[in-house]
Amino acid sequence: MNRLILAAALAATAATSAQAAPPPKPKLIVAISVDQYSSEVFKRYRPTYTAGLKRLANGVAYPTGYQSHAATETCPGHSTILTGRHPAGTGIVANSWIDAKTGMSVYCVSVPGVAEKSARGPQNMRVTTLGDWIKAAQPRARSFAVAGKDRAAITMAGKNADGVYWWVDGTGFTTSSYAGPATPRIVKPAEAFNAKLMSAWKATPPQLWPAASPTCAALSKRQQFGQLEVSGAMPPDMAKGVTEGDEFLSSKRFNDAMHASPTFDAAVADFAIDLIEREKLGRGSATDVLAVGLSATDYIGHRLGNGGPEMCVQQAALDATIGRLIDRIQALRIPVMVMLTADHGATDASERHFDEGGHGYRIDDKSLMNRLNDALEAELGIVWTPLNTEDPQQLYVVVDSEEAPRERILHSAVAWLKAQPEVRAVFTRAEVEAATVPPGTPADKLTVLQRFRESYDAERSGDIAVAYAERASYGVPNAVGETVAGHGTPWDYDRQIPILFWWPGAPAETRDQPIETVDIAPTLASVAGITPPVPVDGDCLDLGGNCRK
């Protein structure tokens, strides 16, 4: 009976899609990524949205989409959104990885061979993006990106963007000649925007947080996270007193608090609106692309978790901010397609999960990794550290020698890890590389090993992949502003994210299929009237007869 009901529901959805008018070809595609916006958070707050997020959720909504890979971090996740490729294809397997030749850490959007610290670009990306494809097919098309984080803007912008901007503390929005044009025409308007913003903030220090609604205020509760006690008051402890002093704009305390507040997203949205207006995006003969990365939800989730009043206030503010952006586009009468998703999900702080009757684990990952290396040194009789453990989920063998051969290090490390109560699965590089993902495997049916395979790159991935207990929080915070919760695991709460499509006249459809972020780029390409010119891992989603046969 259940199968018959499911089949009927799917048939009804398919019939509705078939009857709906196809989306009109837009003059502007706006691709929004909300960093650390899990399906859990979306579903929890969906009934409360009244502005932009309500409008988007009332389009074609997939509440439970997937970042189907294991490396649920910012850079890998963003690299999938407009490329149609898993991290195994984009080459962006983590926020940072270890270079096998030098043993040095490589930041995902650093520029190989360039010593300049501010150099940022897509050179580590092995693929192109939607903006690149449309520009190749429609020579008058333009592609821009703006985000709170450099790695969000760059990985969505691609190889041939017309302008790529991200936030730098004390400066405002900036770019790099390695990411896109850094000519006066691109840089000067950003400098003018920054000067106006900083002047306004200096004259009237920003109220980083709006007042909490009664619903949000009811979530306030004193909480212990590791060794850190937080009051649960609004505004949060980390935001108090940060605008004191004449030079507060350049202070670390202010900028840390500003990142983890609704003010950060508001600044990005203001810059996006300014960019649309000054570049006249969506008013040419071709389809322009604007990628927007909103980062505050991630900072708030890391510093404060997602189960308290802070995330409640953030969701209301995010809803308003996105509404303001869409309202401005509509006021300009631009034919638009808006897509919103996330680079990854997250879990709340383990202590709050535990307090609410769930499972919660706080893992001191640094201590765990030190114990692992100490055990290996004792077993192998060596006096040097055998594993690089900067990322406890991706471990690298440091040296392969006669004294301690790689295979012996791997064998001993895997055995030790499997004996730890915090560990749920351990795979060697060979096991991950040998895994296959049959075409058409739904994202919700992938094994843990297959999820690691979707993140695997032979030149960049670690020698050992580790999955720890579900709902674990890593590290032991002891000061305001330190991480209390996070993401990065292969578990569903980190992989599941909403994927929303909206355009004027869009049908209101909520679809429960487990689609993936790699489906977004081929879908938006079809809406723009083109076919991806390169292989993609995803499929075109039928928004109403838009997919080419």
Predicted confidence (pLDDT) per residue in 225-246, tens digit: 999 999 999 999 999 999 999 8
Task: List domains and CATH numbers for the chain.
Answer: 2-351+492-527 (3.40.720.10), 361-470 (3.30.1360.150)
Q: In what order do the strands lie in the sheet with 288-294?
A: 172-174, 163-168, 143-147, 288-294, 28-34, 336-341, 496-502, 60-66, 509-510
Q: Which two tokens stand for residue 388?
A: 């690089």
Q: Which two tokens stand for residue 326?
A: 């869409």
Instruction: Determine contact, residues 16/507, Cβ cutoff 8 Å.
Output: yes
Instruction: Determine contact, residues 35/149, Cβ cutoff 8 Å.
Output: yes
pLDDT by residue for the chain (549 residues), tens digit each?
A: 333 333 434 444 444 444 557 899 999 999 999 999 999 999 999 999 999 999 999 999 999 999 999 999 999 999 999 999 999 999 999 999 999 889 999 999 999 999 898 999 999 999 999 999 999 999 999 999 999 999 999 999 999 999 999 999 999 999 999 999 999 999 999 999 999 999 999 999 999 999 999 999 999 999 999 999 999 999 999 999 999 998 999 999 999 999 999 999 999 999 999 999 999 999 999 999 999 999 999 999 999 999 999 999 999 999 999 999 999 999 999 999 999 999 999 999 999 988 888 788 899 999 999 999 999 999 999 999 999 999 999 999 998 788 889 999 999 999 999 999 999 999 999 999 999 999 999 999 999 999 999 999 999 999 999 999 999 999 999 999 999 999 999 999 999 999 999 999 999 999 999 999 999 999 999 999 999 999 999 999 999 999 976
Instruction: Determine contact, residues 528/506, Cβ cutoff 8 Å.
Output: no
Q: Which residues of 346-378 are buried (b: 16+ CB within 10 A; e: fewer)?
A: bbbbbbbbeeeeeebbbbebeebbeebbebbee
Distance of CA 139 to the CA centre of its chain: 30
Residue 43 DSSP one-character state: H
Q: State how far the Cα of 131 lies from the Cα of 380, in Å rounded to an integer.
A: 51
Give which of 339, 328, 342 is closest to 289, Cα–Cα.
339
Give which of 282, 293, 299 is closest to 340, Cα–Cα.
293
Q: Which two tokens stand for residue 34?
A: 């909300």
Residue 163 DSSP one-character state: E
Give which of 284, 344, 259, 354 is closest to 33, Cα–Cα.
344
Give the model's pLDDT for residue 7.
40
Give the model's pLDDT for residue 20.
59
Single pTM value for the model: 0.95
Would you call 74 a catalytic residue per the annotation?
Answer: yes
Which position among 13, 16, 48, 74 bears the catalytic label?
A: 74
Give which of 173, 137, 131 is closest to 275, Cα–Cα.
173
Give the model's pLDDT for residue 549.
67
Query: Are β-strands 361-363 and 394-397 bridged in parallel, bridged antiparallel, or unpaired?
Result: unpaired
Q: State how far the Cα of 427 lies from the Cα of 537, in Å rounded to an integer.
A: 24
Give which of 444, 442, 494, 436 is closest to 469, Cα–Cα.
494
Instruction: Determine contact, residues 121/195, Cβ cutoff 8 Å.
Output: no
The length of the chain in residues reads 549
Instruction: Determine contact, residues 440/408, Cβ cutoff 8 Å.
Output: no
Instruction: Determine contact, residues 273/126, Cβ cutoff 8 Å.
Output: no
Give the model's pLDDT for residue 361.
85
